[in-house]
Chain A
């Protein structure tokens, strides 16, 4: 089968590799019909995350049709159409039973390495370094899904791939990011980052009762998407001073909660941004917490900062004094996708949300490298790239003209 394989920084190649097979009784094999490129994939693409090996298959946002099930899988059968969550969860450990699926104690066969870096190991992930299990990812024609009786959710008739694919990662991630803010009715929520996760965080914040959402980014198309689909007020941080603007907009108090949907590759023009960039390149700092610092300073007293963006290592010069002296709450974590699949699918079915609005590009799997490049450089007003394995008839080479629905 064809699969998108990692070979180093900015070096992805779609190659012929063996088909996956059932390795354990609770496995299932999916024929992948749609798979997306995630913002966190860019950290792997840029070579910032340790634990990748040449030949690793990328991708953790995927869905498809069940083509084979192991002996231990009773709830799925060949032909079922499913969306697959990106964390791998066993369903029977302490954390899975508490619905904290991204903290599964059993699914990472390389737990001892993650322990060294982070104290304990979280769940294994698809296509996201050997620290988290080294599982082959879903940017391929077929994918093997462990614990298939726990993860995948069956999709009813009448919904297209584009409408449900993002149940695999970005939609629940944005939703959990907003949920973690403990939004009270009428709250003002500020969201840093208007990529896919930020867009869904904005939408979710309103669904959860926010009265106002302020969205921060620098790309006009993303700010426009936040206004038109999220009904957010927007700030372009290259044109205004965000801290001042937030103070002005909230009468000096600050937003009730803040969502960092940017993560470790934050960007800021000027001297401050250069400080982090230089330290990052010199490997003196592993992550660039630009958005996090701003969120901590801007959040009102006693508010919550919800960190939805991905960080891997250590950060520098973070105003911890602001947290302690102003009673801030920090909430974070990899998304417990399995917990949100059913409720969010229902919202999609009811028409409360159509996640497909973030898609700007459909491409063939073979064009994955190009997709990563466009996505990284934010060219052609790219917000989200969806790859279609094997299905060339709908597509030409390269991308379709970008449309914001």
Chain B
């Protein structure tokens, strides 16, 4: 008959299957109280959906029938190449809007506004050319101006909703990654708890500075050479076991994370379980774009954890940057692939 002692020791050997909390646990329940707020959300989403479909339709037309479109705008010369380019841009915005929800649509709406400005400028130039049918061009300008107004409206409303909903996530990109580390949970926790250490293995972070009141200021690299900054606080701290943090309301980017330091079965070290949620600017299309640029979040965090493991197991991160080589090809120099990280 197993005593409580043997069952306890058995627990160390046998892995007990447990429910894994996913990052979706960070999605808060919707706030029921403000009905008008909700109905405004619906209005805006109907508007953005409409704009998305409009973009898709117009973009497709510009791509497939460029001469038809220029004729309808009263422009005499075909300008097929340029129209197709505009069409591609229009289509991309449309797809971006239609594949995002809520706040993630905001950058795509902004892209539409920029596109509208381009369209208006092009049509404005067309007005100056004598061979064009100016009445048609004017009509097009009016139509585009109307759509521009809707775009601006949508953009502003999304912005307003963003700041009022700062502490609730309506769209997060949940990421969970694990890694087995040949060290004790306590040692792993101690290293991670010093938040200033994070940039040594999280290469997308420029710096993390901890203030006296326990909050921290984070600076991160973002796609296309930009930067993002936010402040965060520790929300749960169990030494040797768990650490949770969350960005403060009003942050440029909403980010929260939990790292668990679990003792792995069989005495095989520590299982690092990292859950991250953050608002990816641009939704799934934005994430897809980031992937193309080589910065997909899940891959990034896994590489970060690999570097954490290298640091804590060996004291250094292996590198070949700075090693000698013969002449690199032009292509590899262009992509900076002459050396590995």
Contact = CB atoms under 8 A, between A and B. Distances in A.
Interface of A: 1, 3, 5-7, 13, 15, 17-21, 23-26, 53-57, 72, 88, 90-94, 97, 105-112, 124, 130, 133-136, 140, 144, 146-147
Interface string B262-297: 000000110000000000000000000000000000
B325 A107 contact: no
A105 B326 contact: no
A13 to B, nearest CB: 7
B183 to A, nearest CB: 9
Contacts of A109: 317-320, 340-341
A135 B323 contact: yes
B326 A111 contact: no
B39 interface: no
Given A13-B326, A18-B324, A106-B313, 6 more contacts: A15-B327, A90-B310, A92-B313, A92-B314, A94-B268, A109-B320
A13 B306 CA distance: 35
List the 4 closest pairs (A to B, CB-CB), nearest first.
Answer: A5-B326, A55-B326, A55-B325, A90-B314
B299 interface: yes
B314 A91 contact: yes
Nearest to A105: B309
Given A23-B321, A106-B309, A130 B340 contact: yes
A138 to B, nearest CB: 12
A55 B332 CA distance: 10
B190 interface: no
Contact of A94 (B269, B324, B332): B269
B43 interface: no
Interface in B94-123: none
A23 B328 contact: no
A53 B328 contact: yes
A3 B320 contact: no
B32 interface: no
18 contacts: A3-B324, A17-B324, A19-B324, A23-B322, A24-B318, A25-B316, A54-B328, A55-B325, A72-B316, A90-B318, A91-B314, A94-B268, A94-B269, A97-B182, A105-B309, A109-B340, A112-B299, A136-B324
Contacts of B168: none
A53 B329 contact: yes
For this complex, into which size category does the number of interface residues on chain B fall? 20 to 34
A130 B318 CA distance: 13
Interface centre among B302, B313, B337 (most CB of A within 10 A): B313
B155 to A, nearest CB: 38
A140 B325 CA distance: 11
A12 to B, nearest CB: 10
B303 interface: yes
B313 A144 contact: no
A19 B315 CA distance: 25
B70 to A, nearest CB: 46
Do most interface residues of chain B lie in helix, strand or loop, or is the interface mixed? loop
Contacts of B337: 53
B319 A24 contact: yes
Given A94-B268, A94-B269, A112-B302, A57 B325 contact: yes
A3 B325 CA distance: 8
A54 B315 contact: no
A351 B140 CA distance: 93
B320 A134 contact: yes
A1 B341 contact: no
A340 to B, nearest CB: 22
A182 to B, nearest CB: 26
Contacts of B339: 134
Nearest to B307: A109
B195 to A, nearest CB: 23
B178 to A, nearest CB: 14
Contact of B327 (A55, A124, A133): A55
A90 B312 CA distance: 12
A21 B322 contact: yes
Instruction: Count chain A CB atoms within 10 A of each CB in B306, B321, B322, B324 and give the residue with the most.
Output: B324
A221 to B, nearest CB: 34
Contacts of B324: 1, 3, 17-20, 57, 136, 140
B322 A54 contact: no
A72 B327 contact: no
A54 B329 contact: yes
Contact of B332 (A15, A54, A97, A133): A54
Given A72-B315, A94-B268, A112-B303, A56 B326 contact: yes
B298 to A, nearest CB: 11
Given A92-B313, A94-B182, A94-B269, A54 B318 contact: no
Contacts of B320: 23, 109, 133-136
